[in-house]
Amino acid sequence: MKPADLTRLHSIGAPTLSPDGTRAVFALTRPDLEKDTYAGGLWTVPTDGSSPPRPLTRGEHDSVPVHSPDGRWIAFLRPDSDDRPQIHVLPVDGGEPWKVTDHPLGASAPAWSPDSTRLAHTARVPDEGRYTAGTEPGKEPPRRITTLKYRLDGLGFHPDRPQHVFVTAPIDPDGEPGTPVRLTTARADHAAPAWSTDGTEVLFTAALHESADTDLVEDVWACAPQEGAAPRRLTHGRLSAGAAFPAPDGTQVFLTASGLGEHDRDFVGRTDGLWRVPLDGGSDPVRLTDEEDGPHVLLQLHVLDDAVLLRTDRRGAVHLLRVPLDGGDPETLVGGPVQTQSFDHRAGVTVAVVADGRSSGELVRVGPEGAVPLTSFMELEAHPVTELTARAPDGHEVHGWVAVPRGEGPHPVVLMIHGGPFAPYGHQFFDETQVLVGAGYAVVLCNPRGSSGYGMAHARAIIGNVGEVSAVDLLAFLDAALEDERLDPARVGVMGGSHGGYMTTWMAAHHGDRFRAAIPERALTSIDSFEGSSDIGSLFPHPLYGPPEGWERQSPLAHADRIEIPTLIMHSEQDWRCPVEQAQRLYVRLRRRREDTEFLLFPGEGHELSRSGLPSHRIARFEAVLDWWARHL
């Protein structure tokens, strides 16, 4: 894979099945370099595989399709003339879609009522005089900020445009967009609307409690679908809850959530589990999966009469499980070295988007016969990646992968470090690996302590000593990979983004003798200034790095004078997760001492540049990485 091949990669959004399970609809998206955007529309395919997928809409940015329960309509998002995503409805039998919302900042998360006559959704409501068409942002009035949580990477300031839950009705193909009924009023963000089984309430998540600004609690609420109705809380104010999904019998609600420790702020390495709570709120939530060694449950759920379908993160894989409603032993529906990205289930039919080392994700039908492919959009041939397990000096297992270029070698080596830290590398076509190995570099990547998918003890082992503990595992895995004679131990570079950038800088300072050069990207380098400048700074550092008196010792910037290898610092101007001052301070510290320090700064981008930035910027980033390694490895 070459950098420009980025435009040949595709992404399949969450599928929606027709009520009878015979057809699946999904959004297909690809980078468009000519327009410097991501373009795509809705596609449909029969789930029996009798014919290939075909386009369903002609829009360039259609997404998030949802079938109505009666099977007549498909709701989806499409930008309006001002590029604001609005909900549109398309007749399943054919015809032109029509717009049903007209929110000033767009709509999101459409959810059909059980009788298929109404759509719950979310939309941001701007304060008067803000975010209006024709108003220059720089000429708006000053913001009076009174909270710690006041901006978010990729979104910006949000207290002056809180997200609320609405219901739009009726769904009228012959009428204009209806006047939506706003269900929520609190000055807070509300998310993930879902209808109760009987359609008398809308469920959503929100932090509406008094201490919401200083903790991480997120509750599940229920509200009648009418203006002025008072929401009622279903959870007990001690969990970080994800979306809620009602059981078919209407008495129970299932959700994903994690505990938060004694002070409701301890998020580090906490395993999200499956929980159950009565819809009437008569008792506290009950956790159905084990916190210590049970599956790390990802957000999406589908509740059946006797079980819950869910995705779980395990050793770099994401499996699709069927868990009994009482929390008994799960059945694996999609397992092995794959990552299940999304799924749907209707009328006994299950489909899922599944990625592996050869594809960025294809739609499959899941059944007793295994996973039967329904799409084949992948255009690139993947270079193989080999799984490897190493041992740290204390015997701890370190799991990961190595990609080796063709030919005898010895090949130069790049150690890649993932972000998070509570995240994994995994069994998936990874553009970063494919571009590097295609250019002749062996790629070494692993999941050291701190990563997800290996149990809570593994994830929480780095608390209070992040750099040193992580480095032990990273070096042990690198040494195991270098036992392969095709890898050149004298030509090794290190790179990573976010927490991976933190660790890249740490490794360059403390283990620089092992590396020829480094690329820290969107890195946290100084914990003290991160606390005040990051969008998550008020709550992130203490649980991970411990008391403030230990922050300087754990900050890579404090050890920057020990860095003696060429360093390319990459960052984005609009990164509010790891703000650009983190990179600027490191650059100045290094550049004063060494001329072989460079700073590559991307305008207009945020923290997610390498995954969802402008296609032109993502390609420019790849080219800069290859240029740096060509010069130094």
pLDDT digits 0-9 by tens, 349-359: 999 999 999 99
Number of C-beta neighbours around residue 58 at 10 A: 10
**Picking from 96-100, 170-174, 309-313, 376-380, which range would have the lowest pLDDT averaged per residue?**
170-174
Residues 6+ apart with CB under 8 A from 370: none
Burial of 52 (0-12, 13-18, 19+ CB in 10 A): exposed
Rounded CA separation 339/320 (Å) = 9
For 11-39, how does the pLDDT look when each residue is reduced to its tens digit (9 = 90+)?
999 999 999 999 999 999 999 999 999 99
pLDDT band at 281 (very low <50, low <70, confident <90, very high): confident
pLDDT score for 177 = 66
Residues 6+ apart with CB under 8 A from 126: 104, 105, 132, 160, 161
For 504-520, how does the pLDDT look when each residue is reduced to its tens digit (9 = 90+)?
999 999 999 999 999 99
Domain boundary assignment for the chain? 11-57+352-379, 386-632
Rounded CA separation 109/163 (Å) = 11
Rounded CA separation 29/11 (Å) = 5
3-state per-residue secondary structure call for 139-154? HCCCCCCCCCCCEECC
Packed helices 431-438 and 615-632: angle between N→C axes, nearest 10 degrees: 40
Provide mean pLDDT across the span 615-619. 97
pLDDT band at 136 (very low <50, low <70, confident <90, very high): confident
3-state per-residue secondary structure call for 133-192? CCCCHHHCCCCCCCCCCCEECCCEECCCCCEEEEEECCCCCCCCCCCCEECCCCCCCEEE
* CATH number for region 386-632: 3.40.50.1820
Burial of 171 (0-12, 13-18, 19+ CB in 10 A): buried
Q: Which amino acid is at 9?
A: L
Q: Is the pLDDT reported for residue 579 higher than 90?
A: yes
pLDDT score for 94 = 78
Question: The whole model's pTM is what?
Answer: 0.95
pLDDT band at 306 (very low <50, low <70, confident <90, very high): very high
Q: Is the pLDDT reported for residue 109 higher than 70?
A: yes
pLDDT score for 5 = 95
Provide mean pLDDT across the span 472-485. 98
3-state per-residue secondary structure call for 2-55? CHHHHHHCCEECCCEECCCCCEEEEEEEEEECCCCEEEEEEEEEECCCCCCCEE
Provide mean pLDDT across the span 435-452. 97
pLDDT score for 175 = 62
- Report which secondary-structure segment, H or E, holds 342: strand 339-346
For 539-553, how does the pLDDT look when each residue is reduced to its tens digit (9 = 90+)?
999 999 999 999 999
pLDDT score for 176 = 66
When the pLDDT of each residue in the chain is averaged and rounded to a whole number, the result is 94
For 331-349, how does the pLDDT look when each residue is reduced to its tens digit (9 = 90+)?
999 999 999 999 999 999 9
| Sheet bearing 597-602, strands edge to edge | 386-391, 397-403, 442-447, 411-417, 487-497, 517-521, 567-572, 597-602
